[in-house]
Structure 1
Amino acid sequence: MKKWSVETYYELFYRWQRSGLSKAAFAAREGISKVSFYSWCKKFETNTDSQDASTGFTRIELAEATFQVAVARINYPSGISVELFGSLDPDRIKALVF
């Protein structure tokens, strides 16, 4: 059985979250041990929960910013602001506002 690094499992964890698949289906599709994947997911979910509890947000890393100036900004009554960069998708903006 191949040993995978923490970084590799985190990348798998991140891809699983975006996939919409169950953990078992994702592990089977990727050809990895279901038991190992469940174990790593539990570790990452615990770390993510404690990080989110302190800030209320999850950090999103972008590969490359194409625009330096925000093309739109949404200000919520709570004081939170969301800045949008790049092309605007009306459906995405509606989801953020409502």
Structure 2
Amino acid sequence: MKKTSIETYYELFYRWQRSGLSKAAFADREGISKVSFYSWCKKFETKTDSQDTSTGFTRIELAEATAQLAVAKINYPSGISVELLGPLDPDRIKALLF
């Protein structure tokens, strides 16, 4: 059996996070060992959790006068969520989703 590199498993891990599938369903779809995939996911999740939590996003607090309720909220498999306020532009939403 051919060994799979750490880079390949990281790419699979990243694709799984975006897929919305369970780990088992993703492993089945990709034709990879569930046991190995679970093991690598655990390593990557632990590494991600222990690193700096900076995600590139910054929380912006609105003044009370301009605060609005979220019109939509997008929850990514990685745990990042984005709240959209005000009028929605469908093209902007598509760009955030893909």
Cα distance between partner residues in 2 of 1:47 and 1:3: 22
1:9 aligns with 2:19: no
Q: Which residue of 1 aligns with 2:25?
A: 25
Cα distance between partner residues in 1 of 2:21 and 2:53: 27
For residues 1-98 of structure 1, the aligned pairs below 5 Å read 1-51=1-51, 54-57=52-55, 76-77=60-61, 90=89, 92=92
Give ranges in structure 2 of 5+ residues lacking alignment: 63-87
Secondary structure, aligned partner of 1:55? coil
Q: Cα gap change, 1:28/1:76 in structure 2, threshold over 3 Å: closer, same or farther?
A: same
After superposition, give the CA deviation of every residue in 1:48-98 in whole Å (9 maximum; x if it has no partner).
1112xx334269xxxxxxxxxxxxxx98128xxxxxxxxxx72556xx9xx
Cα distance between partner residues in 2 of 1:55 and 1:76: 17
After superposition, give the CA deviation of every residue in 1:12-42 in whole Å (9 maximum; x if it has no partner).
0000000011000100110000000000000
Q: Structure 2 length as normaliser, TM-score?
A: 0.58
Give ranges in structure 1 of 5+ residues lacking alignment: 60-73, 79-88
Q: Structure 1 length as normaliser, TM-score?
A: 0.58
RMSD between superposed Cα atoms in Å? 3.0
Query: Post-superposition, which runs of at least 4 consecutive aligned residues in structure 1 deviate over 3 A?
Result: none
Structure possessing the higher relative contact order (Cα contacts under 8 Å, 6 or more residues apart)? 2
